[in-house]
Structure 1
């Protein structure tokens, strides 16, 4: 089978597995880059490359080039994961007999703690919108839902009016893999949504609109957040996902159990949520280190 044909077949499989369009495109880009490299290594045109020509040595050469280019371990691990998924699929379908990735280990990637905002920083952003104006009222809804319900920005912009049960204080969210979950909304968010929709006076099903009256995009939300950050003179970069991180961190700080936070965030695996427990632990150590007169002598018992 030609490499290009395998890419099309694999993309169809990913769509059938309800992978997000972002994931499918990212995999196609990484795999396309690899096949162009492989064709060059074999001295032929990319459109003539067959998947059965790929061997472990070509894969290792590809990883070596990426290392020489200074690519991070995380990015290399992502590209290798794309290759691993493709060749596993091709072997399962009987298109390949041997998996050239099988003997290659993924690079170890240290997991970074997510960045979050302190409560006073969030409060500043929550009071930065001019709710007497239509776009300001919309911006307030954005902030209340990103932080108050821990939504991903993609989940936020896909919301429709019917997604919200304002009387019940609930919101129906379509998350990764088109999996639906129901999360609560705060009274602040409920009032913000009511105020915004009263000012709108239109029948558009989308909850959040831009100034042209069409559905808001991920990029637009990031620009709006940049504007609010500038308005409150917050001296750090803030992206929408930091508000989701802050949502989870503040819940755990307030005594929420890990399983509940997992469900609210829509994480499939508990390990994805457990990173926030490390975050709160590191923050407690930081506070202790700055506040206690004998903190410089502190030794973490887990580091012994």
Structure 2
């Protein structure tokens, strides 16, 4: 039921909000308000906009619950949630009333004001397309405003890899057995840092030199340890005195499971200023080395856990000029 306000209450609220005025200004404002509002009874209207915005939250929560049921990871769901909060705060409309122009204005704002790069804009577009496609399928809307929104064209850059000399410098810079094991496992397996820190001791099959990791979308795949990685990992585990089941833990008590940021901090600590290193660089390097040594791209794709071969070729693996020149010599007519 709408709330009823007396004119005195409304005027008092207004005067409190403008206390920065001089006393003469307040007296004039008070007289004017009483002259215009004194005989009125004012109702606080429960607007359609307020109801609609509440409806946004209900539908978003329902959509996120659907993703949870479908097995999406907590990280993925949180990314969607953050995007929708930013989007709906900006447009300030009920989802049923959103138009393609609202979305274009939002994306332009992200590009020009938030300084989002094209890949970030594409992530936002993907997240919004996913939501509105679901709203249409569930018959909450009659038309999808995202249908006319296209992905931004991005330049596909192949990032740098680690040279043999740099890899040896990094290994020699490790003064802890744990750090040596991490560097060699990343080099050997090409696993993501998020996959590495989730491993437990019991996940490692030393006899066959492999372990199962759970990648994006909860997809599992085997990765393989070379001799160097197995040796340093065994030495590290033998040196442990804690009973934490995690494969890698912090160096200090209480020896909690090592985090993604912990691995990155370790790599920053052991690297010299002229070597820029991050966990993903090991992954790119392994993929590139496999291709340059003649491995079929399909095999590299499976080891990396990619869904599409294009991802492997465009973003991770770069054929050396020597390999390309040799292929031309052997196969060009």
Instruction: Give TM-score scaled by structure 2 length.
Output: 0.76
1:30 counterpart = 2:83: yes
1:98 counterpart = 2:140: no
Matching residue within 29, 52, 71 for 2:96: 52
The count of residues paired between Structure 1 and Structure 2 equals: 269
Residue aligning to 2:162: 117
Give per-residue Cα distances to partners, 1:210-258, cap 9 Å, x unaligned: 02311000000000000111xxx25142111011111111111222111
Cα distance, 1:115–1:8 mapped onto 2, change above 3 Å? farther
Cα distance, 1:222–1:277 mapped onto 2, change above 3 Å? closer
Matching residue within 125, 150, 163 for 2:203: 163
Matching residue within 296, 301, 305 for 1:262: 301
Stretches of structure 1 that go unaligned for 5 or more consecutive residues are: 40-48, 131-135, 289-304
Matching residue within 143, 146, 149 for 2:186: 146
Residue aligning to 1:247: 286
1:214-253 alignment to 2 at 5 Å? 214-229=256-271, 233-253=272-292
1:18 counterpart = 2:63: no
Cα distance, 1:95–1:83 mapped onto 2, change above 3 Å? same
1:73 counterpart = 2:118: yes
Largest Rg, 1 or 2:
2
Q: Is the 8 A contact 1:14 1:24 kept in 2?
A: yes
1:9 counterpart = 2:62: yes
What CA RMSD, in Å, does the superposition of the two structures yield over aligned residues?
Answer: 2.0
Give per-residue Cα distances to partners, 1:182-219, cap 9 Å, x unaligned: 12111111111110111113332111010231100000
Whole-Å Cα distance in 2 between the matches of residues 277 and 68 of structure 1? 29
Matching residue within 255, 273, 284 for 2:321: 284
Q: Is the 8 A contact 1:161 1:206 kept in 2?
A: yes
Stretches of structure 2 that go unaligned for 5 or more consecutive residues are: 1-51, 326-333
Q: Is the 8 A contact 2:157 2:315 kept in 1?
A: no
Does 139-148 or 23-32 show the bigger shift? 23-32
Whole-Å Cα distance in 1 between the matches of residues 227 and 100 of structure 2? 57
Whole-Å Cα distance in 2 between the matches of residues 269 and 16 of structure 1? 25
Cα distance, 1:101–1:277 mapped onto 2, change above 3 Å? closer
Whole-Å Cα distance in 1 between the matches of residues 275 and 58 of structure 2? 45
Give per-residue Cα distances to partners, 1:150-175, cap 9 Å, x unaligned: 01000000000111000111111111
The higher-RCO structure (CA 8 Å, 6+ apart) is 1
Whole-Å Cα distance in 2 between the matches of residues 201 and 67 of structure 1? 51
2:173 alignment partner, SS class = coil
Whole-Å Cα distance in 2 between the matches of residues 248 and 122 of structure 1? 15
